Chains A and B, each alone.
Chain A
């Protein structure tokens, strides 16, 4: 199956006063997929989105969205995409309905269509009851849904979501996930999203890219990335002579590596659920007793930590960014 590339980035780079925020990244997004962009704070996720959505001009490299160049044909790109930024961008003094109408007119929808579309979208995101209330009275989840409605007003080919669930409670997150799946399945929309939450990426995304320090460090489907880590980890507590045990286990098919920590053996295996009974059989036949057993499958967290390292980041942020972030969290909680 040959998939159509809808976003293509080649050596895309952004340098702010000597600080390289995005460093020569190259990737494709295929039509109709949910593409997740992961990375620590300050890794360059939002900068990449800002470039692809034409808000920022790249320092080097090029990118196309739906075949249009993001610099030379920016206006065309803008009319084909929808953007839901990280911040809440709706005008607080206007009602939800007025906000959607305003967005519709910015995308050039004729008045009648705009009105119809606004009603439909507010229904879709479950805000019909609150459509004539001012946005300042909305909760965080409602604001996020309103942002989504605004981003969908032109029924874009590609929807860019920057941290769509940041600061939301579990219920609101689940609702946003439902919408994202619906958009993909019902409308065949391509979705490009950034997130901090790895379970979110694992659940939703067809493919993910991990970016760290402005560089792309991994790309692929969550399952493949997990498998690439070297499979599952089996932990066994066994009494007895360690050298023989290690030898016995190592002979089993699909066992990759055995390490011993005290009485505990950490065994890297592929197809853990099939290999584990075989190991138990062999050990039993040779008279060893297993006192504890634990099988873990790698999570996306393991993939993420493998590529981005475990150290806590020293982050630099401006006062303004912090202010915006604080404002957003405050509104998310209200």
Chain B
């Protein structure tokens, strides 16, 4: 056997190998993919369908013997949610939630790699520190985009009403938004996990952040109807912007200035977090 020694100049050396490793673990265990997709589908199928807000105006109001103007329910719904049914509003919001969920687990995977020694091995090979982080972000992103795609298809089957002006480009746009959100959130959770050796801590952090990030956003309810203190929180939450962008693209009459603002916010959020993550990995990704 000959010696194979060569200085590695490519700064992204090892990126695909490490990303592929994570993806392989995932596609070799289809049950994990199944569960990770079924959960959001249950959310939209049960929660989204159960919250039949339309019925408040068509059924509840009539029992009060109120004389309602014609098309009252439709007007209230489209003024509040921008759609004619709550299911469409919420199902589209769930796409961001799918991303949030996958991103949280990218943080867990680095804790496990550290505990099981795999990280140690990678650290002693000529792979740049930043690449280790980026490979985790990549694999989380690829996984979650596929999951989000499946959830979107399921939502369509369950009765999601797309806007009539839907184009292929807009669907691509949806995935771009999801990609930005996933890269940003995955960087954030990886940063939290970068020095952690205890998966219990990481699990606690994930559980702590999970629901606030979901509730303090426009995924389940429009921000403009929230109490003002909650609005402040929801307005910095990147999930709000991602969800709004997706709604603009899929179910609303696209408001391009609003969409542009959403995209700028998301890009800024993601850029800052990715760069911070890579810088932190130089300093803190060691034994």
Contacts and interface: CB of A to CB of B under 8 A. Distances in A.
Interface in A96-114: 98, 102-103, 105-109, 113
B25 A93 contact: yes
Interface residues of B, number: 35
A156 B125 CA distance: 11
Nearest to A50: B287
Contacts of B123: 54-55
B13 interface: yes
A55 B286 contact: yes
B117 A102 contact: no
Contact of A108 (B13, B116, B122): B13
A108 B25 contact: no
A89 interface: yes
B64 interface: no
Report, as a range, how many residues of chain A touch the other chain.
35 or more
Main secondary structure of the interface of B (DSSP, over half): loop
B55 to A, nearest CB: 47
A323 B115 contact: yes
A135 to B, nearest CB: 11
A140 to B, nearest CB: 14
A252 interface: no
B2 interface: yes
Contacts of B4: 107, 109, 113, 117, 154-155
B36 interface: no
B131 to A, nearest CB: 10
Interface string B257-287: 0000000000000000000000000000011
Contacts of B122: 106
B100 to A, nearest CB: 25
A83 B123 CA distance: 10
A326 B5 CA distance: 35
A80 B116 contact: no
A106 B17 contact: yes
B118 interface: yes
B7 to A, nearest CB: 6
B127 interface: yes
A301 interface: no
Contacts of A108: 6, 8, 13-14, 126
Contacts of A92: 116
B113 to A, nearest CB: 9
A94 B14 contact: no
B120 A85 contact: yes
Contacts of B16: 105
A116 B28 CA distance: 24
A79 B24 CA distance: 26
Contacts of B28: 93
Given A55-B286, A105-B14, A120-B1, A94 B24 contact: yes
A137 interface: no
B121 A150 contact: yes
A332 to B, nearest CB: 13
Nearest to B13: A108
Contact of B2 (A87, A121, A155, A324): A155
A55 B125 contact: no
Nearest to B123: A55
A85 B113 CA distance: 14
B6 A88 contact: no
B286 A154 contact: no
Interface in B104-140: 115-118, 120-128
B3 interface: yes
A72 to B, nearest CB: 14
A75 B126 contact: yes
A98 B197 CA distance: 26
A177 B6 CA distance: 29
A76 B7 CA distance: 6
B198 interface: yes
B21 interface: yes
A245 B68 CA distance: 124
Given A117-B1, A324-B115, A98 B124 contact: no
A155 B117 contact: no
A187 interface: yes
A320 B6 CA distance: 36
Contacts of B6: 79, 108
B5 A80 contact: yes
Contact of B118 (A55, A78, A91, A323): A91
Contacts of A196: none
Interface string B6-39: 1110000110111001001100110000000000
8 contacts: A75-B7, A79-B6, A85-B121, A93-B28, A105-B14, A107-B125, A109-B4, A320-B197
7 closest Cβ contacts across the A-B interface? A87-B117, A105-B17, A89-B117, A89-B121, A106-B125, A83-B124, A78-B126
Interface of A: 50, 53-57, 75-76, 78-81, 83, 85, 87-94, 98, 102-103, 105-109, 113, 117, 120-121, 150, 154-157, 187, 320, 323-324, 327
Given A85-B124, A107-B125, A324-B117, 8 more contacts: A55-B123, A55-B286, A75-B126, A89-B120, A93-B29, A98-B24, A108-B13, A154-B4
